[in-house]
Structure 1
Amino acid sequence: MTATRGSSGFAHDVYDAVIVGGGHNGLVAAAYLARAGRSVLVLERLGHIGGAAVSTRPFAGVDARLSRYSYLVSLLPAKIVRDLGLRFAVRKRGVSSYTPTLRDGRPGGLLVGGGEERTRASFARLTGSDREYESWRAFYGTTGRVAGKVFPTLTEPLPTREALRARIDDDAAWRMLFEEPLGAAVERYFADDLVRGVVLTDGLIGTFADAHDPSLAQNRCFLYHVIGGGTGDWDVPVGGMGTLTDALAEAARAAGAEIAAGHEVLRIDTDGTGPAEVVFRTAKGEGRAVGRTVLVNASPQALAGLLGEAPAQPAPEGAQLKVNMLLRRLPRLRDTAVDPREAFGGTFHIAEGYAELARAHAEAASGELPSAPPSEIYCHSLTDPTILGPELVEQGYQTLTLFGLHTPARLFGHDNRQAREVLLTATLAQLDAHLAEPLTDCLAFDADGRPCIEAKTPPDLERELRLPGGHIFHRDLSWPYGDSGRWGVETAHRNVLLCGAGAVRGGGVSGIPGHNAAMAVLGH
């Protein structure tokens, strides 16, 4: 269809939908709406689309395309991929996780994956019996049953608390996940400190909370980390995370949506009844776009600012360290019973025993960087070598992604650069304790002779992506139920919807808020 350019310079003077933000959720909404025949304009502040779901070459002169911010996929429904005809695929990791340990001065570890018997044997070597493995099976059997019932609801109209509880139809599971602090279930099911810690970590990704936090923020985080796809599997995006946003942009444009990068939205003017006016700035000056509905793919804090309102909630606070690395080879392990390719192919847990996590949280809560920072690592290129150039693959190069816990934004306020370096040094020291050689001996170098390693703290993410407080979920995750709106994307303004990670059932790379906002516009 050929459109005549309106007075705004865009194809229409009034759009059915103007979408603020070209991250993956905004692109999902754009593709759905455009495929339904609606006129759609996406305005993106940066010079490129994708938001936090991008692939970049962060190291000068090195042909390695890394998922720079977000890095694994679990919550993206296959329904969205099918509905939009996306050219996007994920691959399963052969090993779920490996957690090294030193007991009685001897290196060992817990390997989860590679078949039931191998996992059972690893538990037995660690704990001396089958009891902990049987508890593991029982615990994750419960979470798996909950996942199978909850995940399909995420792309349906928002259920009430009572309706979701009835759907789960398991009072013990409901109490364990939705009512009592996660630490109670972890301590009830498991006796081994290391096993307890491995379980708890899924409740702490980007979430600063204790196992027994009465807010249950850790429960909500845990829930979203175990329900993805109805299985809880975390998969590797083939080609890197940027392939997803590229595919979404292609689908949106093919359906007729306009995507304008380099357009920073300054405010949204609406009376809640007629079309809303979106004021933006480009390198050439200010402009305006008008939409019958405006979908905001940004945080609730940013939405309030665009509307000229006070935020409804206190400013959120992120709590993670993200490190990207390129290695000439994987390091050797002190635990010689495990191949490094298996250990790093899944999630490699570092300093994440139950007591270690509690100590790190207590130190951070008191205003100190954790002395033994907990973190986890995985190697994307073992599962998907396509992110590396052919020469790097041939030479055995590998990527490593590290995600640190219990590092709230408040710890970086005085001197972000210095705190980042101190934290990175301490984090790598915890990893080195389980390696037979220093990780720095394995790092690759860029074209300027610098080691291929970069670290991002919450202040870095706030500055680069405008994530409030560097919070990767825009705010603490919500329960997947509620009574505030039919799809969980509604605001106080009838023609303004929230389609970012801060929506109800937001967070992570899921596309769910974008899907749900589009369904709200379409009247489903």
Structure 2
Amino acid sequence: MTALQGHGTYDAVIVGGGHNGLVAAAYLARAGRSVLVLERLDHTGGAAISTRPFAGVDARLSRYSYLVSLLPQKIVRDLDLDIRLSSRTVSSYTPVERAGRATGLLVGRGEERTREAFARLTGSDREYESWQRFYGMTGRLARRVFPTLTEPLPTREELRRRVDDEDAWRILFEEPIGAAVEDRFADDLVRGVVLTDALIGTFADAHDPSLEQNRCFLYHVIGGGTGDWDVPVGGMGAVTDALADAARRAGAVLATGHEAVRIATDGDTAEVTYRTGDTEATVGARHVLVNASPQALAELTGAAPPQPAEGAQLKVNMLLKRLPRLRDTSVDPRDAFAGTFHIAEGYEQLAAAHAQAAAGALPSAPPSEIYCHSLTDPSILGPDLVEQGYQTLTLFGLHAPARLFARDNDGAREELLKATLAQLEVHLAEPLADCLATDADGRPCIEAKTPLDLERDLRLPGGNIFHRALSWPYASEDTGRWGVETAQRNVLLCGAGAVRGGGVSGVPGHNAAMAVLGAPAAGGAAGQDG
């Protein structure tokens, strides 16, 4: 716990020391504002942390968030962050059995090798050419949309003009993504690989009329203007440690073990009551930035709660003595697991799993995807583990809504984990259990987290990793100028539930700081409080 000396009044009090709160703290402190961060836990970082989850094992894993795409280089440069992101040499591998033969689709290791993989799977170049056209389109859109995330919100029409591609606008912003997938691709496996980016943490069908899946897809393909998802060297904790260091260097006070319990404001000044142990105290603030969910914001201010949120994923961390051998002998396991290893994610499989979950049952063939952090960045493992060939595996399961765990979280977790690993083992030439490492007590090095576990551990409402449904990156009637404004003009929402929130991006933290500083527009100098 970090002791907080004195109470007093600050220019800004930030509730929550996750990565967005740390970004906001660093920007505001560098601008000369007095800043206090109140963090409930005994450490900063929120869901973007690294831990050693297995007793007596020197493996520091990105426990919850694990890859980075949406963090703008502008934030890294502005805050002089000492972080390094490493590209993955393989984008994805998707195993499948065709005509009684184990095969798969490897995307990466060069354009020619990828073309050959498509041809081997589908028998022609047509799917590969469609793939190139489709992702050429998303790449052009990414280069135009991504820079707007750290600018004041454009209107819908302003963003449409900036995209300057009516086909791309229709595909991503106006009609269910399933229509584009089915129009452009014929192979079920290829369709499924494309669709998965629309479903990460989002419980939706390809043709959901709400377009929630489209918004999820959009944020997955625009990161950095490329859509690439990179590995944080040193683990996700290295990113948030660098942010905490930047905030402290700038003069922000980071008070861990201090839980905010109430915010009172008249719109000009505010008081934040916090609890440490059994003691309550109050601190004054000109602005309060809430790096927590919209539900938490409502509880702190006494406002009406928003619509309930629901997460829909199974998160699994594993440590292996070695990578398992694959039934598809044409691919090296080091290539297959270096990118995103898709499991039971054919197009029809995804639809079937969604239908089962929507009907109230755990999917019988749960879709999921795996990647191996340590292949790209072995620094998260102790030297002895590296020398022995140990590897980490991170699995993210889809279509596992929180409602399925409400009756028996522990039992449903074990059932779903077993079914998920069984789907993986369909494509392995040996049992996964033979490859799993054991901890100091002889237990297998594997842990699984349901949405309800994330709600309990991190206070994510319903276990939703985005805090609520993702929003379009343009203004509406109630979004405000930066997408962080609330009903109280000096209280801002800077967590993942802000407009243009979700993912390890720092964007809501940046935008909340800009709202406080009164930044006029992109590239403009920050002025006085607006």
TM-score, scaled relative to structure 2: 0.96
Number of the residue aligned with 1:307: 301
Instruction: Quote the residue 2:23 is aligned against.
Output: 28
Q: What's the CA shift string for 1:235-264, capped at 9, x where partnerless?
A: 000000000110001000000000000011
Give the AA of the match of 2:291: N
Question: Is the contact made by 2:7 and 2:282 (CA closer than 8 Å) also made in structure 1?
Answer: no
1:93-120 CA distances to partner (integer Å, 9 max, x unpaired)? 0000000000111000000000000000
Alpha-carbon spacing, 1:33–1:212, altered in 2? closer, same or farther (3 Å)? same
1:75 CA displacement:
0.3
**Residues 109-148 of structure 1 aligned to structure 2 (within 5 Å):** 109-148=104-143
**Which of structure 1's runs of 4+ aligned residues deviate more than 6 A?**
none
The residue that corresponds to 2:352 in the other structure is 359
Shift of 1:10: 3.6
* 1:205 partner letter: I
SS across alignment from 1:51 = coil
Matches within 5 A, 1:421-460: 421-460=414-453
CA distance in 2, matches of 1:98, 1:68: 23
Establish whether residue 293 from structure 1 lines up as the match of residue 293 from structure 2.
Answer: no
Q: Does 1:507 align with 2:502?
A: yes
Measured on the aligned residues, the alpha-carbon RMSD in Å equals: 0.9
Give per-residue Cα distances to partners, 1:343-363, cap 9 Å, x unaligned.
Answer: 000000000000000000000
What CA distance in whole angstroms lies between the structure 2 residues aligned with 1:421 and 1:391?
31
- The corresponding residue for 2:409 is 416
**TM-score of the superposed pair, with normalisation by structure 1:** 0.98
In structure 2, the residue matched to 1:202 is: 197
Q: Which amino acid aligns with 2:403?
A: R
Taking the TM superposition and a 5 Å limit, the aligned residue runs for 1:229-378 are: 229-273=224-268, 275-311=269-305, 313-378=306-371
Secondary structure of 1:316's aligned partner: coil
Gaps of 5+ in 2: 520-530
Q: How does 1:216-227 map to 2 (within 5 A)?
A: 216-227=211-222
The counterpart of 1:522, out of the listed 511, 517, 525, is 517
Decide which of 368, 387, 397 is 1:394's aligned counterpart: 387
Aligned match of 1:3: none
Deviation at 1:13, TM superposition (A): 1.1
Aligned residue runs from structure 1 range 25-64, under 5 A: 25-64=20-59
- Which of residues 350, 363, 379 in structure 1 aligns to 2:372? 379
Q: 2: distance between equivalents of 1:11 and 1:519? A: 28
One-letter code aligned to 2:392: T
1:271 shift after superposition: 1.7
User: Could you tell me which of 180, 185, 188 is aligned with 1:190?
Assistant: 185
SS in 1 for 2:106: strand
Deviations 1:441-462 (A, max 9, x none): 1000000000000000000000
SS at 1:272's partner residue?
Answer: coil
Report how far residue 9 of structure 1 moved: 5.5
Question: Deviation at 1:272?
Answer: 1.5
Paired with 1:416 and 1:264, the residues of 2 have a C-alpha distance of 27
**Paired letter, 2:106:** L
Per the TM alignment, residue 197 of structure 1 is displaced from its structure 2 partner at its CA by 0.2
State which of 464, 472, 475 in structure 1 corresponds to 2:468. Answer: 475
Letter in 2 for 1:276: A
2:280 aligned counterpart, secondary structure? strand
- Cα deviations by residue, 1:315-367 (Å, 9 ceiling, x for unpaired): 01000000000000000000000000000000000000000000000000000
Which whole-Å CA distance do the structure 2 matches of 1:295 and 1:11 have between them? 20
- Letter paired with 1:128: G
**Matches of 2:405 and 2:384 in 1, distance apart?**
38
Q: Give percent identity, aligned residues only.
A: 79
How far the C-alpha of 1:265 sits from its partner, in A, is 0.8
The aligned amino acid for 1:35 is R
1:201 partner SS: helix
- Write out per-residue CA displacement over residues 166-216 of structure 1, whole angstroms, 9 at most, x where no aligned residue: 000111110000000000000010000000000000000000000000000
Counterpart in the other structure of 1:74: 69
Aligned mates of 2:329, 2:104 — CA distance in 1: 10
The whole-number CA distance in structure 2 between the counterparts of 1:331 and 1:230 is 34
SS of structure 2 residue aligned to 1:370: coil
Q: How far apart, in 2, do the equivalents of 1:9 and 1:22 lie?
A: 14
- Report the equivalent of 2:206: 211
Q: Across the two proteins, how many residue pairs are aligned to each other?
A: 515
Alignment-derived partner of residue 527 in structure 2: none
Measured in 1, the distance between the counterparts of 2:310 and 2:75 equals: 30
> 1:57-101 deviations in whole A, cap 9, x for unaligned?
000000000000000000000111111001101000000000000
User: Would you say the 8 A contact 2:4–2:255 is kept in 1?
Assistant: no
Matched letter for residue 60 of structure 1: A
Report what 2:526 is aligned to: none
Question: Quick check: 1:103 aligned with 2:63?
Answer: no
Q: Give the secondary-structure state (helix, strand or coil) at the position aligned to 2:399.
A: coil
Larger mean CA deviation between 277-286 and 294-303 belongs to 277-286
Determine helix, strand or coil for the equivalent of 1:377: strand
Deviations 1:122-176 (A, max 9, x none): 0000000000000000000100000000000000111010100000011111000
1:167 aligns with 2:162: yes
Tell me the equivalent position of 1:5.
none
